[in-house]
Amino acid sequence: MPDDPRTSDASNVHPFLADRILGHATPAELLARLVERLHEPTEPDPELCMDIGAGNLESLLRHHEAELWPEIERLARTDIRFRRALSGVWAYDSPQFEQRVALLAELGEAREITVRFTVEPDDFSADPKLSWRAFESEGAISRRRLAEVLRQVADWLPSSQEDPDSERP
């Protein structure tokens, strides 16, 4: 019997995707499996959410987001673990990309924070040390969390100058 091209290399395919490729599961069933996996740990696991979001969920949405959208929106509104996994999906070319970005922003998963400050030189050198004298921020973030994020950005900046393609932490 000739090999089925869909199964000839199935040993190298993740079981989740193999079920979809082989037609053993519908997109809705695969989505339900991902939600079950998100709830396997007793406590929410941010790393698991990001792994599922940037992995199997992204793959599923790339091809089936439009048909699954009502359930995706319901889950995002009611299930914090799913919402966090959904925030890990980039899939810029998926059918509901704009709606997904708007939904995540509405639900607080993506926040725009604007920080402005004024600095002044401390000396007369070509690249003087600077001191800040005025600060303001806009957006939904506590001062404590803003300080944490700004420290992360400050730690990342030197490496980004050495390697302009370096990813943020």
Q: Please give the residue range of the domain that contains residue 138.
A: 114-162
* pLDDT value at residue 25: 87
Is residue 76 domain-shared with residue 124, that is, in the same domain?
no
Is residue 15 domain-shared with residue 32, that is, in the same domain?
yes
Is residue 25 domain-shared with residue 52, that is, in the same domain?
yes
* pLDDT value at residue 165: 58
Q: What is the pLDDT of residues 33-79, one digit of tens each?
A: 999 999 999 999 999 999 999 999 999 998 899 999 999 999 999 99
Is residue 56 domain-shared with residue 15, that is, in the same domain?
yes
Is residue 77 domain-shared with residue 18, that is, in the same domain?
yes
> With bands split at pLDDT 50, 70 and 90, how would you rate the model's confidence at 162?
low
Residue 138 pairs with which residues in a beta bridge? 114
Is residue 101 domain-shared with residue 119, that is, in the same domain?
no
Tokens of 112: 């725009």
Q: Inter-axis angle of helices 80-87 and 97-106, to 10 degrees?
A: 130
* pLDDT value at residue 169: 54
* pLDDT value at residue 4: 44
Q: Inter-axis angle of helices 80-87 and 27-38, to 10 degrees?
A: 110
* pLDDT value at residue 139: 87
pTM for the full model? 0.67
Least confident among 12-26, 37-51, 53-67, 154-168: 12-26
Is residue 91 domain-shared with residue 128, that is, in the same domain?
no
